[in-house]
Each structure stands twice: as C-alpha cells, then as structure tokens.
C-alpha cells in the first residue's frame, strides 16, 4: 500500500501542484539562521531568531523610553500599554518608567522628519528574553513598528501570558505601503477612518490615501470655494478641523495622509456648485448612480486653472504631505467631443486627441501643484512622456504601465491586483508582487522607482457598516506583501496568521466580524436561535459576485441611496469557512481519501447542508431579506446531497459510473452560477470530490 | 393514547406547574382590548392594540416635531433617525421635516422640568398605520420613550422593513427606574458609561445612580479637596467637565444622574488624602482588597461636618439632581469601638450603640444636604425614626425594610433582588416586585411612597471589558418590571423578547455578546477554529458561581489588580444556551418523551458534549487559561455520556434500574459543585432526565 500511496501522491503532485506548495512552505519556514518559530507575526519580519523561554507579562511590566524622545513616542507607548492591558486584562496603568529598570527598554536614536517622507528609515530591532525586552530603532517610525511587533508576540502560553524569547531585525521592503479609502461614493464617518488607521498601524502600513472627491460627493470643506461642500456633499463632508485631527491621528501612527481630488473627470460633485468648471453648461446634480460619466473639467479655459490654483493652494496647506493626488482616471471625453470651443482649441493647439488634451491639462496642472510645494501623483492615465520626472504614477490598469513608467524615469506604485472591492481571496492579492511581470526585468535602478503599492477600497457597495469587512482581514495579506521579504509567500502560512490577526484586529475596534454578525441579525429579524444558525450556516458558504459584475447582476439599478442591507452586503468578500471547507476536501483527496477524520468531517458538513434548507424555510417566509437567498439555500442542500453521494461512492472504492458523474457535474455547473448576486463557494470543491469519486485515480486505487 | 397522553399531561401539571405557566402566558397574551400582537416590545407597554397592515420604511421616511419643541427633542429625533438608519441600512440622512407631511408626526404638549424630577409625566401614545405614524406626549420625556418604542417596532417583514400597525398607550408603573453602576471598585471609562446610558434609554430607565466613592477609589475631581482624587484614585477619576458631559448626555436621554458618596463607612479612599476625617489616625492607602473594612468617618468631630458641608456644597452644584445619595451601608463600627474619644462622646451624649451613633451622624448630615438644596437618599441602614420624612431609603437588605420605611412615612426604592452581580437568571429578578411581600399589605397611600427600584452592578469582578455582559441583557427584565403593568410577568414571553433585545442592544454599541467572544479568543490564544469551537461549546454551558461565593472560592485572594482574564470573567452570568437546553429537556419530558425532534436534538447535544473534551484537550495543554477549565470540560463530557444513557433508557420505554439511577445521580451531584468558580449549568436538567428515565412516570408509560 505504501508504494501505491506514494504513486498516487506523485500522481496528485503532477495534477495539482500540491507538493510544490508544501515544499515551498517547508523551505520558507526554515531560514538559514535557524529554526523559524511558529509566531503569529504579520507582516513577517525580515529576520526572526527564536530564543529560549519567554518573557512573562504581569502587572509589574513597564516601559522606558531612552535616547531621543518626543510626545508622539510617549503617546505611542501609552497606546501600546493600553492595548496590551486590553489584550491581557493585566492592569498596566501608567507604567511608563523613566529609568533603565523597565521590562521593555526602548532606545530611539533621533527624530524622523517633521513631515513624514517617503523612504525614511523605518527599521527596528527587538530582542525578547525571559528577563526583559529591548527595542531599538533609528527613528520613532521604527519604534512604533517595533511596538506593534511586541504586541503581536504576546499571547497566552501554557503557564502565563507571555512573549516568547526572540531576536528580530526588521525593515520594510517598500517605503510606500498604502490603503486607499473612497469616501466619495459613500461617506466614511470619522470613527471608521480612525479605527482603520489603527488597523493600518497594526499591519505597519504607512500611507492613507484618501479619495475625497468624485462624481457622487465632494467631501472636504473648502473655505475658498464653499459651494464645493455645501452643494456637492449632501451635508456629508469633513471640516478642516476634522481633517487636521485625522492627519494628526495618522501621524501618531507613522502614517502619511495623501489626499486625492480626482480631476478632470470623476468631478460632477464640483460642478454642482461651480458649473463653470465643466465642459458642458449644466446645471449639475450630485451623481447617485455608479459608473463612468461624461462630466469633465474644461481644460481649455484659463479660469479652470485659476480655480485650481486657488483650490490647491488651500488644500496644500491643509494636507502637509509632500504628495498631492490629482486622480486623472477614466475621462471618457464625451463632453470634450461635444464642445465646439474645446474642439476649436484642440485644432488651434495641434492637440490630436482627448488623451493628448488630458496630457495638456496635466502639464498645466503639474506646475500649480509644484508651486504649492507638492509632488503630483495620479492614476496611470496621467503618464505622458512630456511630463516632468517628478510625478508619480499609481498603476490600476496593469503592472505593465508601472514598469513602463519606471523605465521612463517616473516613480510608481502598484494598485492593480490590490483592489479589495473586487472580492478576490487574500491569496490572490498576496501573489501580486510590485516587482514582477514586466517590472521583474527592470534594472535595479529602475526597480527602485517602484515605491510600493496601495490596496484600494472603492465604495460603490461599501458603507460605514460593512467597510471593515470589505478591507479586513484580506488587507493584511497585502500589507505583508509590501513589508516582508519577497520570498515570504506561502499562502498556507499567510492564512494561518491571517486568521489570528483577524481576531486581534477586532480587539482594536474594527468590526469586520461583528458587523457581519449584526447585519445577519437584521436580515433574520426575530428569528429563533435555530433559524439564525441555519441562516449563518448558509451565508458562511456564500460570497458576493466578483470583479466588476456587481452592477450588471443587480436586481435594480443600484445607486448611492440603495439600502445595503441584503445578504450580499453582509457576507465577507472571502469566506473563511468556505476556504477551510476547500482545504478539507483537498486534504481528503490528497491522501487517497483515506483520512477518516477528514472524511467524517466532510460527511457531517454535507449532512448539515442537506438538512439546512428545511431549518431555514420558516424564516424565509417571514423575512424578505432571507427569502432572497432561499434558492441559494436549496442549492446548498443540493450540494450537500451530491457530496454525500460522492462520499458513498468513495467509500465503496469503486469508481462511480460516468453517467452519474455527468449528471452531478451538470448540476454543479448550474450551482456555480450566481443567484441573488451570491456565489456558492463550495461548489468547485464538491466538483473535485465528484471527479475523484468517478475517476480511476487515487481515491479508488487505495484499498 | 390520547387519554394516556392527557393523563400524563395532568400528572405533569401537578408535578411541575408547567401548565400553570402556559395558562398564565395565554391569559396575559390576550388582554381585554383584543388580540395582543406578537411584538418584541420591551418593556411591554401598558396597552397595545394591533392594527391592520404595516408602515413600510424607505428613504422617504421623515419626522416632524410639532407643538412644544426644544434642542433636546431635535437631538433625540436625529439620534432616532441615525439608529433607524443603522438598523435598516436605509439612508435617512437629515430627514427632520418641519411640515405636517412627515411619516412620523410628533406632538409634544409642553416642556418638562429643567432639572428632571421624580414623577414627571412620562406617558406617550403611539399610533402606527400603513399611511403614517403619530406620536403624542405631554412632555419631551414621553416623546423620547415613544421614539424608543417605534425603533423596537421596526423589523424585517415578509416584504419590507416595516413597523406593524398598532395603537399604544403607555406610561410607567414606577417613576424611579434606575441602574446603579459602581465606578469605585473598578473604574468605569466614560465610553462605557455612555453606551450604558444608551442601553438605559432603550429600556426606558430614567435614573443613573453613580456610585462614585468607596474604599477602593474616589472617582470625582473635587476642587475644594483635591487630595480626594489626587491621592484617592490612582489617577482614575472623572473631571468635573467630564461629569457635566455625562449629566448632559443622560438628560438628553431622559435620565437623571444621582451621585453617591458613601459615608461614613466605605470611605478609605477619602482618608488617603484626608486622614483627619477618619476615626483612627492612619496613614491610609487605597484599599485593594474586597469586603467590609473598619475605616469610618469620625461622627463626633465638628471638623468632619465642616468638611462635608464644603464638600457637599461643591458636589451639589456639580450634580443638578434633586437627590443626593450618602451611602450609609455596612459600617462595622470597629474604629468607633476602639476610639476612646468617640466612646467618651457617646457616653456624654447618651448614644447607646453604633447604630445610634450612625443615626446621630445622619441627623447631622441631613441638614447639610438639605441646606445645599438636596434631598437625602441612602441605603437602608440610614433608616431611623428620628430622621425627617424627606429622606429616601434604598433597600438592599430585604423588602421588609422598604415596607417598614413606607409605613413610617419615608419614601423608598427597592434594590434587594436586583443585584446584577449576584449572577441570578433574569427570570428571578423579573419575579421581584417592589409592591410585594410586606409592601403588598401597605395602604395605597403608603404604597405610593415606594418610588420604584434600581438594579445594581457592584464592581468587584467587573471591569470595562466585561461590565456590559454583567448588566445586559438581564437588566432589561428589571426595566420591564419597573415600567410595565404588574400583571406582565410571564417569564417565557420575557425571555423571548429578551433574546431579541439583547441583539439590538449590541447595535447600540453595547458589547455584552462581543466581549464574551473577544475574551474567549484571548483565553484560546492561537487556537484552531475547531479548538475554539470546542472551547465555546464548553463555556456556553458554564456560569460563574452565584451570590456572594466568588471571593471564598477564588484560587487566591482577589484584589482590584487581579487580571480578569479567566473563563469565569468571560462567560455571561446567565447562559442563554444553557437556559435553552433546560427548556428543551422540559419540553421533551413534558410530552412523555415522545417529541422525537426534541429527543434527536438532545441526542445531538449530548453526543457533542461527550466528544468535546477530546477536541479541547490540545488547547488545554497550550493555554493555562483553558487548562483551568479542563476539569469542567471532562465534566461536560461525563454529563453528555449520562444524558445519552438516559435517552437510551427512555427509548426502551422501560424504567432504568434503581442502581443505575443512584449511580448517575451521585455523579451528577459531584458535577453540580463549582470548579474553577464555574457551575456546570445543564447538570440539573440532566438530573431530571435521569429521574425520568428511572421513574415509572410519563416517559415510561406512553408507548
């Protein structure tokens, strides 16, 4: 049997690359320096050396700041102690020590820049022994990162709450590690912004890119042009005081705030108050629908640049960061085409097409941005060889444009592959590397121009209640990609740590798990515990449709006023339960379907699914929000029945008949289609099982 | 079979009073006015008449305030809209209408008192029809209550989010419906206070009694005597600005704030800064232990009253409420006995004993309180016939003292039976009525002096993380007792609505459910999902030891610095899962063990318990916090095994042998004992099942 088992295993290897992953995991988990301890650190540090024993946490724990200090560091330590107290329930009230007697001795060498810059030293080293811990960093940025690492180390052990002895040397791979939040399509309340900055700090992200204007809303108070927010926001905007608070909050966490004002397109909300900026007369209303619209600034009028000069002057003072994001994406050019004066201007200036007209706009815009002390950044549409090399390109359409920009001497950051709203699994984001594809062939000098990357959450289907579950925990995988060495890329290890981090992020105040649960309760109304459990069993196996299919599959045209209270709005974009089910099937098949424990668990799961629809039925009658997923419930039960049949066939160790297989696969093909904008996650895994049951392969050969 | 079924049923009735409860429920659910709709209203209104159809909620929903208005009402409506939007995800941004065209038309007749008083009109009427809703109230207090009722009415229905058509007339049974929070033993952060005020508003409670000083801490900034907070609080106190904010926050929600400064006992924290107040020389330190201590103010020194005069003058200005709580409980008299001057004073003034000395103290204190415009309230120890009738007695030791006070002409409120920290089930609190026991025999005039009641949460084992789960949802049952008509007392109906309210309270920001989950995660550390599920299965069946046994069962003497991170700190004081299991057993036995669905569910549950310990074992090795409950885990598995055996016996329809029964009961008796300060909740229910399996009774007779 051993030989046949191995043969099957090798067979399987050829088939599915499973061993390759396993091998990769083994190699990564054993670095040159010694045995890698099984620590739940995320992002994984550059270098980790396990020590012996652990540092026990008790109420005598104290921290001392030595070397350079500043109020930000003191606040950072207070926050650290508060968080540590919360996660241990050990009283650590005012335990900032001045002397060298502290349990955790921090040494910071010197200040970082008053206004945080790209590429500052963020490194730190952390040594934990049973007797105490030392954190050293050249700048406060490194110190703040090191405190986060320490917090992650502390966990319950067999005899205490403790941090394992360890020596860590750590520094980021990329200097620009960002998260973009779209506060224009749906407004993001300030407490949501703050808790997401907390999450960013925990994952060592250092850029909050704030998308502050779009067709659907202008979200910043302008004193120079008050009609921007007064008429362009439906009252949902940030005052300048609030903006300054957010910037200070972010700076305290080592995070830069880069504002984006999207122009010349994506700008309907500007035109409600200032129609003279547009390329068609108006009047304009705040856009409520989603998509790419015609409205665009008129790049041919001098008044446009006068307006932007005054506007950018004001915003450049409000936002201290060196970078100023001008958007620049998705101008469809229709208003330009239809405007005779613009067409005349283009002819007169030899501007051949709309792309060239936008380049003209950017060439006028860039000096304004520069005049107010900022460096211009925009989406990849702004890339044009006639622009000065100071601009930075944020690549959303593909990695090729990033490489092209770097080759031409421009700096760039990657967002293609990091769009959180597309609903990809974390592993898929995790596999995207800024230095890959065309970029892998760049010279080292060119590669240096790739500053890093940014995940983006576009807010068509994101509001204050579900935003956390659209960002987290998947965003942690991108944070690790941007911080950790390039060879840290085992998805199994990533997922194990992601699960851990996901729980801890909730301790910080993020609500990605609890909001799902609360939204399900709304959907269920006054359900019995049994009915609620049945709903939960179903929704745990559902994911929203992926990529850009949300609008085309919607039951009615969605707008910014559409209530987001349906199951598709509540369920996480990646289901952990669904992923684990897939892993269980893989595990079962990988060992020739001989893993009796996995087999028994599959059987329990399939039985529960088969019976689940009956449990849910009364609730589906009472709640229209549950009724919307009634068909998916029947589908899950059908999948359970198929799974049980496949297990029965496998148990007999005789390949199931081809006709049976054909029938099951046809059914599964139907089940794979979206309904109520929801995908039935386990369908592909059950398909694998059906195929295994019908094949003459591993699951049948071993006796 | 029918006859035998009925016989068994009647047999059972005689045995367990089940039918009585059922009958009661039927009677209560059918008031004279017509059919009572199954609404999840809590507290249940005085009168509810179901209408036809329902009022659909959509983004056109609007509210208009007519009649008397004030900023508090406008803020109340904004809060109402925000909450409604959160619980429906329907955009209701700025939908306060001025005209009579609103969906919800509010009419308030006149202002309530600037400083809210006991016994103001809090009534309101609410009429919902498919075309709109009307809320009318004499004062803003009633309006605020009515808005809470409306929020509770809105739920998912078979075709929309809607409020059912209904006509409600409502007013409170008692004017004083309070919650006392002890912020002295463990400090309560302000956000915790605020979210609990939100919870109180939702349940129509109107008094926040704030226990602000005790041996373990003095929690208010005094400008007259700054050493009170500087030396008496370890830095954990409320500034006067913060206090004013809390009072304003409470007033906005129709809640009075009654401060308590406990004296002459429970006052060690005062003496740290001002030892001259005490009856023994000191020096004093903040008390870290729990219990009754010797330190007490010296009632014989004039300087004591001078101090209190100045102190109460300051606090009377800070706290606008008419009532001023002076504590007065648990003076053990030891310092008085040991102090020669005090003994001399007593002899000189003919004061016979310590009780009389405390009465002397109160007779000196009362005019001071009155001089500063306040009415004195204290725990029942202050009751003394020589005190003026203006004082109010808060009865914690028993209902008899409440009745005695009322008979003597004093006003009183009941807290005996409402101590949330004792870990009673909600049903037990619910059964306690202020007008019962001795009070039932009072004249109507005397009964009127019983103003209501107050639940109390004493904070020896309560911190910021677990406080919500110590107060909620059980407190809702007390809120209903104090608001609803006396005949609203069916525990089954109460629990059904409590489950619903419990979920909704979390939407307000309370954390009674999520904090349990988060604390379990800390206890589990880096557990696998399977291990975590096993821990959850166990802890769902555990409750902390009850009444005053927490200290005597502790593994080491607990203090205010003891980390509250153990399972006993995390699990709710009443387990909903445990209660439901008990109900399931009752249901199964009630129908002669013929309910096959209930039987199957019991078998599944027992099997899961039996197998659970094996699943939990690896985690118990890795986490010392899980290891503490390892024995309870084995106990639960043992209970599962016993339950399965009982089911097997019942399935055979032959009484199990007496020897088997004796053995099982002996084991269960052991399992009933506390371990790790935890009770195994289902033990008594399994005992019932064993008894049923061994009896010649209903479960055996029916074939």
Smallest CA–CA distance from B498 into chain A, residue: A526
Locus of tokens 């103001």: B120
User: Residue A1's pLDDT is what?
Assistant: 35
User: Residue B231's pLDDT is what?
Assistant: 98
Locus of tokens 């080293």: A125
Facing A156 at nearest CB: one of B86, B87, B624: B624
Is residue A627 less than 8 Å (CB to CB) from chain B? yes
Is residue A526 less than 8 Å (CB to CB) from chain B? yes
Which residues on chain A are in Cβ contact (under 8 Å) with B59?
561, 563
Facing B518 at nearest CB: one of A94, A236, A506: A506
What whole-number percentage of chain B has pLDDT above 70?
94
A255-312 pLDDT per residue, tens:
999 999 999 999 999 999 999 999 999 899 999 999 999 999 999 999 999 999 999 9
Q: Please, which pLDDT band fits residue A699 given cuts at 50, 70 and 90?
A: confident
User: Residue B38's pLDDT is what?
Assistant: 72
User: Using CA atoms, how far apart are residues B347 and B364, in angstroms rounded to an integer?
Assistant: 18
Would you call A157 and B625 a contact, using CB atoms and an 8 Å cutoff? Answer: no
Asked if residue B93 has pLDDT above 80, the reply is: no
Q: What is the DSSP letter of B357?
A: H
If asked whether residues A562 and A655 sit together in one domain, one would say: yes
User: Residue A697's pLDDT is what?
Assistant: 74
User: Using CA atoms, how far apart are residues B248 and B99, in angstroms rounded to an integer?
Assistant: 29
Q: Which residues 447-466 of chain B have a CB within 8 Å of chain A?
A: 463, 465
Give a yes or no: residue A236 inside a domain: yes
If asked whether residues B417 and B518 sit together in one domain, one would say: no
Is residue B575 less than 8 Å (CB to CB) from chain A? no
The backbone torsions φ and ψ at residue B185, rounded to the nearest 5 degrees and listed phi first, read -70, -45
Q: Which residue, of A144, A170, A196, is where some domain finishes?
A: A170
User: Residue B94's pLDDT is what?
Assistant: 63
User: Residue A701's pLDDT is what?
Assistant: 63
Q: Please, which pLDDT band fits residue A38 given cuts at 50, 70 and 90?
A: confident
Which residues on chain A are in Cβ contact (under 8 Å) with B608?
none
Helix/strand/coil (H/E/C) assignment for every residue in B299-343: CCCHHHHHHHHHHHHHHHHHCCCCEEECCCCCCCCHHHHHCHHHH
Q: Which residue, of B145, B170, B195, is where some domain finishes?
A: B170
Give a yes or no: residue A140 inside a domain: yes
Q: Please, which pLDDT band fits residue B698 given cuts at 50, 70 and 90?
A: confident
Q: Are strands B132-137 and B104-108 parallel, antiparallel or unpaired?
A: parallel
Number of H helices, E strands in chain A: 28, 19
Give a yes or no: residue A494 inside a domain: no
User: Residue B530's pLDDT is what?
Assistant: 92
User: Residue A53's pLDDT is what?
Assistant: 95
Asked if residue A317 has pLDDT above 80, the reply is: yes
Mean pLDDT of A308-337: 97
User: Residue B195's pLDDT is what?
Assistant: 98
Q: Which residues 14-43 of chain B have a CB within 8 Å of chain A?
A: 40
First to last CA, chain A: 8
Q: Which two tokens stand for residue A83?
A: 């968080």
A242 burial class (0-12, 13-18, 19+ CB within 10 angstroms)? middle
If asked whether residues B490 and B518 sit together in one domain, one would say: no
Q: What is the DSSP letter of A560?
A: T
Asked if residue B9 has pLDDT above 50, the reply is: no
User: Residue B588's pLDDT is what?
Assistant: 94
If asked whether residues A301 and A440 sit together in one domain, one would say: yes
Is residue B604 less than 8 Å (CB to CB) from chain A? no
B687 with B665: CB under 8 angstroms? Answer: yes
Asked if residue A350 has pLDDT above 50, the reply is: yes
- State whether residue A645 is helix, strand or coil: helix
User: Using CA atoms, how far apart are residues B99 and B106, in angstroms rounded to an integer?
Assistant: 11
B202 with B512: CB under 8 angstroms? Answer: no
The model's pTM: 0.92
Would you call B561 and A524 a contact, using CB atoms and an 8 Å cutoff? Answer: no
Mean pLDDT of A505-509: 94
User: Residue A654's pLDDT is what?
Assistant: 87
User: Residue B22's pLDDT is what?
Assistant: 37
Smallest CA–CA distance from A59 into chain B, residue: B561
Asked if residue B697 has pLDDT above 90, the reply is: no
Q: Give the number of beta-carbon pairs within 8 Å between A and B.
A: 115
If asked whether residues B448 and B539 sit together in one domain, one would say: no
Distance, CA of A401 to chain centre: 22
Is residue A408 less than 8 Å (CB to CB) from chain B? no
Asked if residue B356 has pLDDT above 70, the reply is: yes
Q: Which two tokens stand for residue A501?
A: 């981090």
First to last CA, chain B: 8
Q: Determine the distance in angstroms separating the CA of B67 from the nearest CA of chain A, rounded to an integer.
A: 27
Q: What rounded mean pLDDT belongs to chain B?
A: 92
Give a yes or no: residue A5 inside a domain: no
Would you call B580 and A529 a contact, using CB atoms and an 8 Å cutoff? Answer: yes
Give a yes or no: residue B9 inside a domain: no
Would you call A160 and B86 a contact, using CB atoms and an 8 Å cutoff? Answer: no
Q: What rounded mean pLDDT belongs to chain A?
A: 92
- State whether residue A201 is helix, strand or coil: helix
Active site residue B330: yes
Is residue B564 less than 8 Å (CB to CB) from chain A? yes
Would you call B236 and A569 a contact, using CB atoms and an 8 Å cutoff? Answer: no
If asked whether residues A300 and A250 sit together in one domain, one would say: yes
Would you call B526 and A40 a contact, using CB atoms and an 8 Å cutoff? Answer: yes
B426-474 pLDDT per residue, tens:
999 999 999 998 999 999 999 999 999 999 999 999 999 999 999 999 9
Range of the domain at A160: 42-170
Asked if residue B10 has pLDDT above 60, the reply is: no
User: Using CA atoms, how far apart are residues B667 and A375, in angstroms rounded to an integer?
Assistant: 76
Q: What is the CATH number of the domain that holds B52?
A: 3.30.379.10
Asked if residue B95 has pLDDT above 90, the reply is: no
Q: What is the CATH number of the domain that holds B396?
A: 3.20.20.80
Asked if residue B84 has pLDDT above 60, the reply is: yes
B547 burial class (0-12, 13-18, 19+ CB within 10 angstroms)? exposed
A90-142 pLDDT per residue, tens:
988 666 776 678 999 999 999 999 999 999 999 999 999 999 999 999 999 99
If asked whether residues A224 and A362 sit together in one domain, one would say: yes
Give a yes or no: residue A667 inside a domain: yes
Task: Give the residue from B89, B512, B537, B569 with the most A CB atoms within 10 Å of its CB, the best one to mutate.
Answer: B89
Mean pLDDT of B562-589: 96
Which residues on chain B are in Cβ contact (under 8 Å) with A521?
503, 507
Q: Determine the distance in angstroms separating the CA of B112 from the nearest CA of chain A, rounded to an integer.
A: 32
Q: Determine the distance in angstroms separating the CA of A467 from the nearest CA of chain B, rounded to an integer.
A: 13
Would you call B157 and A624 a contact, using CB atoms and an 8 Å cutoff? Answer: yes
Facing A156 at nearest CB: one of B88, B522, B580: B522
Q: Which residues 157-196 of chain A have a CB within 8 Å of chain B?
A: 157-161
Would you call A623 and B563 a contact, using CB atoms and an 8 Å cutoff? Answer: no
If asked whether residues B423 and B345 sit together in one domain, one would say: yes
A35-44, A56-65, A93-102, B312-321: least confident range: A93-102
Exposure string of A99-126, with b = 16+ CB inside 10 Å and e = fewer, is: eeebbbbbbbeeebeeebebebbbbbbb
Mean pLDDT of B648-657: 90
B284-337 pLDDT per residue, tens:
999 999 999 999 999 999 999 999 999 999 999 999 999 999 999 999 999 999
Would you call A89 and B622 a contact, using CB atoms and an 8 Å cutoff? Answer: no
Which residues on chain A are in Cβ contact (under 8 Å) with B465?
86, 89
Mean pLDDT of A328-343: 96
User: Using CA atoms, how far apart are residues B555 and A537, in angstroms rounded to an integer?
Assistant: 40
Mean pLDDT of A563-576: 96
Mean pLDDT of A524-537: 94
A63-67, A207-211, B3-7, B421-425: least confident range: B3-7
Task: Tell me which of B39 and A699 has the higher pLDDT.
Answer: B39
If asked whether residues B129 and B184 sit together in one domain, one would say: no
B167-211 pLDDT per residue, tens:
999 999 999 999 999 999 999 999 999 999 999 999 999 999 999
Facing A90 at nearest CB: one of B93, B514, B563: B563
Would you call A155 and B526 a contact, using CB atoms and an 8 Å cutoff? Answer: yes
The residues of A that are catalytic are 330
Give a yes or no: residue B18 inside a domain: no
B121-161 pLDDT per residue, tens:
999 999 999 999 999 999 999 999 999 999 999 999 999 99
Which residues on chain B are in Cβ contact (under 8 Å) with A59?
561, 563
Asked if residue A595 has pLDDT above 90, the reply is: no
User: Using CA atoms, how far apart are residues A323 and A392, in angstroms rounded to an integer?
Assistant: 9
Number of domains into which chain B is organized = 3
Which residues on chain A are in Cβ contact (under 8 Å) with B531?
none
If asked whether residues A297 and A422 sit together in one domain, one would say: yes
Give a yes or no: residue B398 inside a domain: yes
A124 with A142: CB under 8 angstroms? Answer: yes
User: Residue B96's pLDDT is what?
Assistant: 72
Q: Which residues 312-331 of chain A have a CB within 8 Å of chain B?
A: none
If asked whether residues B53 and B144 sit together in one domain, one would say: yes
Q: Which residue, of B170, B202, B223, is where some domain finishes?
A: B170
CA A678 to each of CA A475, A638, A674, B99: distance values in angstroms, whole numbers, following the listed order: 22, 16, 5, 42
Would you call A624 and B518 a contact, using CB atoms and an 8 Å cutoff? Answer: no
Would you call A524 and B500 a contact, using CB atoms and an 8 Å cutoff? Answer: no
A262-266, B58-62, B571-575: least confident range: B58-62
If asked whether residues B147 and B188 sit together in one domain, one would say: no
For chain B, the helix, strand and coil percentages under 3-state DSSP, each to the nearest 5: 50, 15, 35
Smallest CA–CA distance from A514 into chain B, residue: B514
Catalytic annotation, pick one of B127, B242, B313, B330? B330
């Amino acid at each position: 049997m051993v030989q046949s088992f191995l043969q099957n295993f090798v067979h399987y290897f050829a088939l599915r690359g499973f061993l390759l992953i396993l091998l990769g995991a083994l190699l990564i988990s054993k670095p040159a320096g010694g045995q890698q301890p099984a620590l739940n650190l995320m992002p994984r540090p550059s270098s980790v050396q396990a020590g012996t024993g652990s540092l026990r946490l008790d109420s005598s724990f104290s921290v001392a700041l030595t070397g350079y200090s500043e109020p930000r560091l003191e606040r950072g330590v207070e926050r650290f102690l508060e968080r540590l107290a919360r996660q241990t329930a050990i009283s650590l009230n005012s335990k900032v020590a001045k002397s060298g007697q502290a349990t955790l001795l921090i040494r910071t060498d010197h200040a970082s820049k008053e206004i945080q810059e790209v590429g500052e030293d963020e490194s730190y080293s952390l040594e934990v022994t049973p007797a105490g811990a030392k954190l050293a960093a050249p700048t406060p940025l490194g110190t703040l990162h090191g405190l986060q690492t320490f917090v992650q180390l502390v966990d319950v052990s067999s005899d205490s709450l403790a941090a394992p002895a360890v020596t860590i040397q750590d520094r980021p791979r990329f200097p620009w590690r960002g998260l973009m939040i779209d506060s224009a399509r749906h407004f993001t309340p300030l407490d949501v912004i703050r808790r997401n900055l907390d999450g960013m700090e925990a994952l060592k992200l250092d850029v909050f890119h704030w998308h502050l204007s779009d067709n659907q809303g202008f979200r910043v108070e302008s004193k120079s042009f008050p009609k921007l927010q007064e008429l362009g926001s439906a009252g949902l905007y940030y005052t300048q005081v609030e903006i300054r608070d957010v910037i200070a909050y972010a700076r305290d966490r080592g995070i830069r705030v880069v504002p984006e004002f999207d122009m010349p397109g994506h700008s309907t909300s500007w035109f409600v108050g200032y129609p003279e900026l547009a390329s068609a007369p108006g009047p304009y209303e705040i856009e409520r629908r989603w998509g790419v619209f015609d409205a665009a600034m008129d790049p041919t009028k001098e008044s446009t640049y006068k307006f932007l000069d005054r506007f950018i002057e004001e915003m450049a003072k409000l936002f201290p960061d060196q970078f100023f994001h001008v958007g620049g994406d998705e101008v469809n050019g229709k208003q330009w085409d239809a405007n005779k004066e613009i067409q005349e201007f283009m002819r007169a200036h030899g501007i051949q097409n709309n792309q060239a007209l936008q380049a003209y706009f950017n060439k006028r815009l860039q000096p304004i941005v520069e005049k107010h002390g900022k460096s211009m950044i925009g989406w990849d549409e702004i890339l044009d060889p006639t622009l000065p090399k100071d601009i930075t390109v944020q690549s959303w359409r593909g990695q090729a444009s990033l490489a092209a920009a770097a080759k031409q001497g421009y700096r760039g950051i990657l967002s293609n592959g990091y769009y959180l709203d597309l609903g990809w699994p974390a592993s898929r984001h995790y596999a995207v590397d800024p230095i890959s594809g065309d970029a892998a062939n760049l010279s080292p000098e060119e590669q240096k121009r790739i500053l890093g990357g940014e995940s983006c959450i576009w807010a068509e289907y994101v509001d204050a209640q579900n935003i956390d579950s659209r960002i987290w925990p998947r965003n942690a995988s991108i944070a690790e990609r941007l911080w950790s060495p390039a060879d840290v890329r085992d998805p199994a290890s990533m997922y194990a740590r992601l699960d851990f981090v996901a729980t801890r992020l909730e301790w910080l105040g993020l609500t990605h798990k609890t909001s799902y649960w609360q939204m399900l309760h709304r959907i269920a109304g006054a359900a019995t515990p049994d009915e609620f459990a049945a709903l939960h069993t179903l929704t745990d196996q559902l994911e929203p449709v992926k990529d850009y299919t949300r609008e085309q599959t919607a039951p009615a045209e969605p707008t910014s006023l559409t209530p987001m209270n349906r199951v598709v709005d509540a369920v996480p974009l990646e289901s952990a339960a669904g992923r684990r089910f897939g892993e269980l099937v893989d595990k079962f098949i990988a060992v020739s379907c001989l893993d009796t424990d996995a087999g028994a668990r599959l059987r329990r799961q399939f039985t529960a699914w088969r019976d689940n629809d009956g449990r849910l039925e009364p609730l589906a009658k009472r709640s229209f929000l549950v009724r919307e997923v009634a068909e998916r419930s029947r589908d899950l039960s059908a999948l359970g029945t198929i799974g049980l049949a496949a297990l029965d066939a496998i148990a007999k160790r005789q390949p199931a008949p081809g006709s049976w297989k054909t029938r099951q696969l046809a059914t599964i093909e139907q089940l794979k289609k979206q309904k109520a904008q929801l995908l039935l996650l386990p369908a592909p895994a059950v398909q694998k099982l059906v195929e295994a049951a019908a094949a003459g392969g591993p699951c049948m050969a071993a006796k």
